Amino acid sequence: MEPTTEAKPALTRTEQVARTRSALIDAALVLFSSKGFDATTADEIAAAAGVSTRTFFRHFPTKESVFFFDGFNAAHLFASSLRSRPADMPEIEAIKLALLKSAPYHTRVRRQIGMYQQVVASSLVLRGRQQAVREQYVRLLAEAIAARRGEAAIDRGSNLLAALCYLILDLALDEWLGHSNPPPLETVINAHFDLLIDGARAFGVGDRGLEPRTSAV
């Protein structure tokens, strides 16, 4: 009697969309790295991913949009996590834990992030676009921090903390990507936050010193 093999269950529509999207991102990053961003066309990306150009444009409206594939996912993870932290938790601790929440996401797309950084460094156009992305990213972080403080709009302190968060994440990712056998990203982020706190203490700022000051009555 011949052994029977079980048929694999068919992918759901959501799984099919996610797989196609991932294939397009991978193909685009490989082509951008080898040919350059400007010289790569949407037709070439679609062909490399094994789909039609029409399918490409169902997932991404422009060639640029497939490159900036993150879609601020990590920033939204940060905001969601920060909202879940207890109100009495020290602000810097709550922010650190919220930033750590994005580490598993970055770990899953580590190879894509590395290729992304290489392509940005090779294109003046993309470096300019990356600055706009950075500003929007910081704004999303600042909105989450201001909301936790009970502010109706982004205040100066929230904006500063958001910029520091982005800088810490950026430095941590650079260090982490530079290792062929890296430690967990969470470990690297924690180390950078420890440096921030140690630096604050060196200037006479306590553990809660980065939190908003209460107004004198």
- Do 104 and 161 fall within a single domain? yes
**What pTM, to 2 d.p., does this model score?**
0.74
1 part of a folded domain = no
> What's the domain range around 58?
13-67
Domain of residue 59, CATH code? 1.10.10.60
Same domain (yes/no): 170, 85: yes
Element (H, E) at 81: helix 73-83
pLDDT values of the chain reduced to their tens digit, one per residue, 217 residues: 555 555 566 768 788 888 898 899 889 989 988 888 888 999 999 999 999 999 999 999 988 888 877 667 888 888 899 988 998 898 888 989 998 988 998 898 888 888 888 888 878 878 888 888 889 889 999 999 999 999 999 999 999 989 998 999 999 999 999 988 889 999 999 999 888 888 777 665 555 445 544 444 3
For residues 105 and 181, state if they share a domain: yes
Query: DSSP letters of 98-113?
Result: HHHTTHHHHHHTHHHH
120 and 31 within one domain: no
152 DSSP assignment: S
Surface-to-core class of residue 29, CB atoms within 10 Å of its CB (0-12 exposed, 13-18 middle, 19+ buried): buried
55 and 104 fall within a common domain: no
Q: Are residues 114 and 36 located together in one domain of the fold?
A: no
3-state secondary structure at position 61 = coil
Residue 56 lies in a domain: yes
Longest dimension (CA), the chain: 88
User: Does 27 share its domain with 41?
Assistant: yes
